[in-house]
Amino acid sequence: MPPLDKQSAKQKFMEFLAGKGLRTTSQRQAIVDTVFGTDKHFTAEQLLEWSRERDQSVSRATVYRTLPLLTESGLVREMDFGKDYKFYDPNYAEHPNHSHIICQDCEKIVEFESEKISKLENEISQKLGFSVATQRLQITGTCEELKKLGACKNRMN
């Protein structure tokens, strides 16, 4: 399946909900519009905050019930960075085979794609008798801003 743009991903998710017999409430619509209206990775609490900017009535329970549906649909990827909470990648439908580098201090997440990494994955997979279906590369480090300035504007306190 070729990657989907945000609008197509949103439409596919709405079809996914309909296929499960779930209705689209105004709260769920605000959540879906928020998810497919950003390129930023987010936590459930951030999604709640951003969704409430669209619709004040969005409840925490609706966010927490909608997130598993988004990941089950295959359009959003849940990511575990070793914290007490998960991050969600809204760019998964558009770029299913991208990698991440995460700052362990400020939690800044940067996506990247690399032909060299793809080539190496294919080479290793073929050598071991596999074909790549999906890949996940996650690098953790510290961003240069914290090293240079001693403080980082992205740092979550």
> Could you tell me the pTM of the whole model?
0.75
Q: Which residues pair with 140 in a beta bridge?
A: 102
**What is the set of domains in the chain, with CATH numbers?**
6-89 (1.10.10.10), 99-149 (3.30.1490.190)
pLDDT above 70 as % of the chain? 87
**pLDDT tens profile 13-23:** 999 999 999 98
Nearest to 106 by CA among 39, 48, 136, 151: 151
**pLDDT tens profile 45-85:** 999 999 999 999 999 999 999 999 999 998 998 988 778 88
